[in-house]
Amino acid sequence: MKVLSAMQPSGTLHLGNFFGSMLPNRGYQDSADQALFFIVDLHAMTTVHDADVLRKARHDAARDYLAAGFDPEKAVIFFQSAVPEHAELQWILSTLTPMGLLERSVSYKDKVQKGIDSSAGLFMYPVLMAADILLYDADKVPVGKDQKQHVEMARDIAQKFNNAYGETFALPEPEVREEVAVVPGTDGQKMSKSYGNTIPLFGDEKSIQKAIMSTLTDSKEKDDPKDPDTCVIYQIHKLLLDESAASALADEYRNGLPYGDAKKRLFETYMDYFGEMRKKHEALKDDFVAEVLYNGAIKAREIAVPKMEAVKRAVGLL
């Protein structure tokens, strides 16, 4: 089984990203025959038009993922733009992608509604994503719910290509992480950078502490029994505990653990849980990060270059 996924270099990673995407994806490094992960800096250009911002964002994303255990010994890890075949294949695929297919993209409509300028690049986003996937003949593409339609589009485009030019691409399957619980943010809604309710994974300890201490609670008095099932602090805390520790903590809530203490305990557990990862993040040298990603691109191109050659043969460019 060949697994491929990719991540946007967009901002500070948070606990929701960790449990919702990083942890399950990281697991494929051990379970898949081959795992490919890349940072989609070309896709990021549909919303970022500042060179310094993009440069920093892609580098920061690489550092974050390496610190979080994405391992170049086990997976191929690279920047999308370092493999020019992605953009090259995108063009070829675009020539058989119906406009109607792209017009149905929910993500495109959402983004335009949110005020993002509707460039041709933004409209073509799903075609570049199809190229990302088809170039490597990925079987399985783990994504969040919002990206399922894009993987289905990649499958449609692969089918169109295969019909027109003969069997060339494997048909990818989206693997939607339905079973992953939505991580609540500090205000009880889904944790998301667009709601300003996140607990960051990296960065200074003070901002983690501030985020945790600001977690919403109800108006129960200090010693009143608390309901762990409706308490956001507990819902976050239990993600970091094994079953027996989580159930012992739930009992403490029922026995009146004050919210202030509950937050302090969460902060301690948080720093403990992510301690190693955060240390690694600090220790990673820029040159090392750049070298790892450079070597990853070389490995990716060992697959992408011959695949592109086969595509060119199929369409009559060779």
Residues annotated as catalytic are: 111, 190, 193
Residue 126, C-beta contacts closer than 8 angstroms, at least 6 positions apart: 97, 101, 102, 105, 107, 108, 150, 153, 154
**Is position 21 an interface residue for ligand ADP (rule: CB under 6 A)?**
yes
**Is position 191 an interface residue for ligand ADP (rule: CB under 6 A)?**
yes
Residue 50, C-beta contacts closer than 8 angstroms, at least 6 positions apart: none
For residue 33, how many C-alpha atoms fall within 13 Å in the half-sphere facing its CB? 6
CA dist 290 and 282 (Å) reads 15
- Judged by CB under 6 A, the residue of 94, 107, 162, 192 near ligand ADP is 192
Stretch that binds ligand ADP, among 76-84, 109-117, 184-192, 297-305 (CB under 6 A): 184-192
Calculate helix-pair angle for 51-67, 286-315, nearest 10 degrees.
Answer: 100
Site string for ligand ADP, 133-162 (x = CB under 6 A): -----------x------------------
Closer CB to ligand ADP, 23 or 315, in the complex: 23
Question: Taking CB within 5 to 8 Å according to partner kind, which of ligand ADP, ligand TRP, none is near residue 16?
Answer: ligand ADP
Question: Taking CB within 5 to 8 Å according to partner kind, which of ligand ADP, ligand TRP, none is near residue 141?
Answer: ligand TRP
Structure tokens at 309: 């050659």
Contacts with ligand TRP by CB under 6 A lie at 4-6, 8, 40, 43, 129, 132-133, 141, 143, 147, 150
Strand order in the sheet with 140-143: 76-79, 34-39, 2-7, 140-143, 173-176
**Is position 296 an interface residue for ligand ADP (rule: CB under 6 A)?**
no
- Judged by CB under 6 A, the residue of 2, 3, 6, 17 near ligand ADP is 17
CB 239 within 8 A of CB 19: yes
Query: Footprint of ligand ADP on this chain (CB under 6 A)?
Result: 8, 10, 16-17, 19-21, 144, 180, 182-183, 190-194
